[in-house]
């Protein structure tokens, strides 16, 4: 794959799922990857798997200071940043009448503020260099919504609005890509506490449609990052067969 080797890419949500798989694939193509998440054990073991062109920084994306620290650490080690993939996210789904305000707050903090803080941390560096690439993971839930996914969906619609506005603001110099995955195998949803969601989504008698592999989303990220010259891949939408 052209145009990936030696690129410095920060990935949030790199301790599992889509982020970890993206790190593996980018690293295999010769990129320098900076892994960010909260669970240090997972990050440490992924860095030892990937070798010297990988590093990790324990990061909580709800803290803007953590994102600033992450960007600075990446510059200290690799000299500059080519791309930031804002991918950390959670999905504790519930219905509105369950009133799970704490879970709404956590989704807003991680899924929206985490993206904003990432942009805020890296933008001055990219503007100064006159180049860079910011990617974020939205969702099919950022395009359409259904009962039980309201707040999660709102956060992913917000990601779309943020990224589209960012694209217009920095269109001359910085590439901006939003990824919209459908159902993908990962740990997402492990923190669902709503019995109504568990009953509606997981105890259905109909067999669930097969999910996509994380590598499908990683390949989409790599496609966007690998474009050379002025090609700016703005949006990629992926669904598994069977998902409407
Ligand atoms: P995972 O649960 O496997 O990964 C989520 C990642 O986010 C983990 O690495 C987790 O790390 C990290 N994370 C959560 N909270 C924080 C935090 N406060 N600070 C830093 N990192 C955090 O799920 P996926 O790989 O599926 O999710 C990745 C993204 O893809 C999310 O934005 C999700 O919404 C989106 N998505 C996923 C779909 C799917 O079907 N799987 C479909 C559509 C979109 P840690 O806990 O160590 O901090």
Q: Which CATH number characterizes residue 163's domain? A: 3.40.50.720
The count of C-alpha atoms lying within 13 angstroms of the C-alpha of 53, restricted to the half-sphere facing its C-beta, is 17
Domain count, the chain: 1
Per-residue model confidence (pLDDT) at position 205: 63
Closest C-alpha among 28, 17, 66, 12 to residue 215:
17
> Once rounded to an integer, what is the mean pLDDT over residues 147-174?
98
Per-residue model confidence (pLDDT) at position 24: 98
What the block records as the tokens of 37 is: 């998440």
56, 152, 180, 223: the catalytic one is 152
From residue 16, alpha-carbon distances to 28, 44, 48, 194 in Å are 17, 12, 15, 23
135: β partners: 85, 177
Residue 91 within a domain: yes
**Confidence label for 203 from pLDDT (cuts 50, 70 and 90):** low
Residue 2 within a domain: no
Residue 3 within a domain: no
Q: How many residues does the chain have?
A: 244
Task: Provide the 8-state DSSP code for 180.
Answer: E
On whether ipTM exceeds 0.95, the answer is yes
Q: Is 137 in the pocket of ligand 1 (CB under 6 A)?
A: yes
Ligand 1 pocket test, candidate residues 21, 22, 108, 188, most atoms within 8 A of CB:
188
Residue 96 within a domain: yes
Ligand 1 atom index nearest CA of 62: 18
Tell me whether residue 223 is one of the annotated catalytic residues. no
Residue 38 within a domain: yes
Q: Of all residues in the chain, what percent carry a pLDDT higher than 70? A: 96
Parent domain of 68: 8-238
Residue 71 within a domain: yes
Ligand 1 pocket test, candidate residues 11, 23, 37, most atoms within 8 A of CB:
37
Residue 243 within a domain: no
Q: Is 61 in the pocket of ligand 1 (CB under 6 A)?
A: yes
Q: Is 155 in the pocket of ligand 1 (CB under 6 A)?
A: no
**Confidence label for 208 from pLDDT (cuts 50, 70 and 90):** low
Whether residue 92 has pLDDT greater than 90: yes
Q: Is 59 in the pocket of ligand 1 (CB under 6 A)?
A: yes
């Amino acid at each position: 794959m052209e145009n990936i080797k030696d690129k410095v890419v920060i990935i949030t949500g790199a301790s599992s799922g889509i982020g970890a798989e993206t790190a593996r694939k980018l690293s295999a193509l010769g990129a320098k990857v900076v892994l960010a998440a909260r669970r240090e054990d997972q990050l440490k073991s992924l860095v030892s798997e990937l070798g010297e062109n990988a590093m990790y920084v324990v990061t909580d994306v709800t803290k803007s200071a953590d994102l600033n620290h992450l960007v600075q650490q990446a510059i200290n080690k690799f000299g500059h940043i080519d791309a930031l993939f804002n991918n950390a996210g959670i999905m504790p789904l519930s219905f509105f009448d369950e009133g799970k305000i704490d879970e709404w707050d956590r989704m807003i903090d991680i899924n929206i503020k985490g993206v904003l803080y990432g942009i805020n941390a890296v933008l001055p560096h990219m503007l100064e260099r006159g180049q860079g690439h910011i990617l974020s993971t939205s969702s099919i839930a950022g395009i359409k919504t259904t009962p039980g996914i309201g707040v999660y969906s709102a956060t992913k619609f917000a990601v779309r609005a943020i990224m589209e506005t960012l694209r217009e603001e920095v269109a001359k110099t910085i590439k901006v890509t939003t990824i919209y995955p459908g159902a993908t195998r990962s740990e997402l949803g492990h923190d669902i506490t709503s019995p109504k969601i568990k009953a509606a989504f997981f105890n259905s008698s109909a067999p669930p449609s097969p999910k996509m592999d994380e590598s499908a989303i990683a390949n989409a990220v790599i496609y966007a990052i690998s474009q050379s010259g002025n090609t700016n891949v703005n949006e990629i939408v992926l669904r598994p067969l069977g998902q409407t």
